[in-house]
Amino acid sequence: MPTYNDYGIVLTSYSFSEADKILNIYTRNNGLVRAIGKGIKKPTSRFGGKTGQLSCCYFHFAKGKNLDILSDCEQINAFPKLRGDLIRLTYGMLFVEIVSSFAYEMESESTHIYELLYSALDKLQITEIPDLFSIRFIMEFLSIHGFRPQLETCVSCSKNISYEGSRDYFPFSSILGGLLCNKCSHSIDHKKININVLQLLGINDELNNIHPIKQEDIRLALELVREHTDMRGKNKIKTFDLVFSL
């Protein structure tokens, strides 16, 4: 039976039998790996304490017909400061659910996605602004997949968007995935977002250039990226409900 090794982060797991679990793992070189951990639920299992959600390990797999088999693993990072803080843990769960919603086997960008997720979970342990940090993570993740919202030109006609002058709002189409010019906004459904929300989404690379950062703008930005990812991923991201309840 062929074997292979890879670094990976556990996205989700669920029971398969009385003693076994199926793990969905995002790996550095193989993208999404679905593997069965035999006997993992037994108290004596050498895997049980290492393979919880958010755990990063160096995994040893054996190739299977439908599911690969977890042969062994060495824990690299359990991100302990996330587990001891409800807010940070919730954002960490948001990160892995978003990755899971877009994940496929043998993705060409798996190395970039894995490194982005690992770095984000690690930095999430110490950031003082997890909500703002999460927006940056999501936008960078969407960029890797080619799904970043279009903010520089009209998503309908490609006309340049001007941020100069005093405008109360900018029209944004969630269905098309970006800003609209004034002309296109007359015929396309859209929502109105202000310049602070656009800055949070990345038209300004420095968070500290946004004065002041209002909690309502952070909420609007998160709602916008939620709608955007829900329309483009495999599943709707349920953890956003927990984020909004914090």
Q: Please state the domain extents for the chain.
A: 3-77, 80-148+194-245
In CATH, the number for domain 3-77 is 2.40.50.140
* Beta-strand pair 56-62/3-15: antiparallel
The more confident residue out of 129 and 167 is 129
Q: What is the pLDDT of residues 1-58, one digit of tens each?
A: 799 999 999 999 999 888 899 999 999 999 999 999 998 988 888 887 889 999 999 9
**d(C-alpha 54, C-alpha 124), whole Å:** 12
Q: What is the pLDDT of residues 110-159, one digit of tens each?
A: 999 999 999 999 999 999 999 999 999 999 999 999 999 999 999 999 99
Q: Name every residue whose Cβ is closer than 8 Å to that of residue 227 and which is 6 or more positions away in sequence.
A: 174
Q: What is the pLDDT of residues 48-96, one digit of tens each?
A: 788 999 999 999 999 988 899 999 999 999 999 999 999 999 999 999 9
Phi and psi at residue 232, to the nearest 5°: -115, -15
Q: Name every residue whose Cβ is closer than 8 Å to that of residue 73 and which is 6 or more positions away in sequence.
A: 47, 50, 51, 57, 58, 59, 60
Would you state the pLDDT for residue 81? Answer: 95
Residue 234 tokens, joined = 């495999």
Q: Name every residue whose Cβ is closer than 8 Å to that of residue 218 and which is 6 or more positions away in sequence.
A: 131, 132, 135, 200
Instruction: Residue 116: count other Cβ atoms within 10 Å of its Cβ.
Output: 18
Instruction: Give the predicted TM-score (pTM) of the model.
Output: 0.92
Q: What average pLDDT does the segment 105-110 reach?
A: 93
Q: What is the pLDDT of residues 199-216, one digit of tens each?
A: 899 865 544 455 567 899
Assign domain 80-148+194-245 to its CATH superfamily: Recombination protein O, C-terminal domain (1.20.1440.120)
